[in-house]
Amino acid sequence: MPSITVNVDDDLKTRMENHPEINWSEVTRQAIREKIETLEVMDELAAESELTESDVREIADRINESGRERVNEESP
């Protein structure tokens, strides 16, 4: 099985060491697997989409603006 290296900061490493019962390699494998599966679903959806990159950027901008407005409304 191929190996990869994951860098974590000192604080995170210390916190991980506080839980030696956890197989951190397996946790990492599962997280990568879940992310890959999500990306593959997104790729499938995007492959069938007729949206252009410009359309996607416009939609993302609208979503971001809506989110900013919501945060501003909720802020005191």
Domain positions in the chain:
12-74
pTM of the model: 0.61
- At 42 the pLDDT is 86
- At 30 the pLDDT is 97
- At 11 the pLDDT is 98
The rounded distance, in Å, linking the Cα atoms of 37 and 42 is 9
Residues of the chain with pLDDT under 50: none
Instruction: Go through the chain and tell me how many residues it has.
Output: 76
- At 25 the pLDDT is 96
- At 5 the pLDDT is 96
- Rg (the chain; Cα; Å): 20
Q: What are phi and psi of 55, to 5 degrees?
A: -60, -45
- At 56 the pLDDT is 84
